[in-house]
Amino acid sequence: MTTVNSVVGSLELYSMPDLNNPSRPLKAIGTPLMSYRDGLVLLQGQPYKLQFPAMGRTYAAMVDDNSIVGAIVAALVTLSRLVDIQIDSPNDSPEAEAEEDWLESVIDDMDVSFEHALTAIYSFYVHGYSLSELVYKKRLGSGPYTRTPSKYNDGLYGISRLSARPQITLCGMYFNQDDTLDYVEQSTPDGDQVKIPGSRILYFRTQSYNGDPYGRSLLRSAYRDYLFVQRLSELAAIGVERNLVGLPVLYVPSELLNHQNDPQKLAMF
């Protein structure tokens, strides 16, 4: 038995692998995913509207249709954007400082501001995850024939933009055997489907719940309450429309119900 001490207590391990002679092959045998097939993760016990791909529209509706949810999400994104972005080099060597300066120049030279890109990234608060595609450019100045203008003319490669890939447009996420992202499949406005390599994707999640690649939305626990509020609001509006008098009642002459031996009354009934 091995004991590992931490700031929150001790963790007793009854079986500790030998890191000097690990078992081979050097890859996982099991998987953290509960049920994964054809780019979709099936979660037992979860409503269909809270599973991919339907959950994208569900959470978007919660933000758009409920004033409280929309205000909270807007406040959360606004506060997140106020956080200062700081780049620190690992040491004080000239090489490390040069790389720090280069990265700052890349962020400052993006065609779409980094703050705008962060706003799109923060959509993982709502959806549980967010994907942005890295779009590169070659820094060749800002001449009239330059495809992507740049503040610099050093011939290095920079980042043109971090282009968000909306959750409601995604068809699936596909993973390699080592659980790394292989590619993402997306529906385009033209009705086509494109594959974006995982090497070009920035991938964010709130947390990994049972290995779910789609994370866990911050709105998940509020979904049931949201359904009640929406339905009760609809019923209240219907009641007001009917002047809160209950069901409409139709009165008919009693002789109309006694239509025996009278073809005209029978036809009217």
Share of the chain above pLDDT 90, in %: 33
Confidence band, pLDDT 50/70/90 cuts, at residue 130: very high
User: Residue 210 above 80 pLDDT?
Assistant: no
| Chain CA centroid to CA 116, Å | 17
**Residue ranges of E strands in 33-148:** 36-37, 40-41, 129-138
Question: The pTM is what?
Answer: 0.72
Give the model confidence (pLDDT) of 52-94 as tens digits: 888 999 999 999 999 999 999 999 999 998 888 888 888 888 8
Looking at residue 123, what DSSP letter applies?
A: T
Share of the chain above pLDDT 70, in %: 81
Distances (CA, A) of 207 to 43, 104, 128, 182: 15, 28, 8, 20
User: Residue 232 above 70 pLDDT?
Assistant: yes
Confidence band, pLDDT 50/70/90 cuts, at residue 38: low
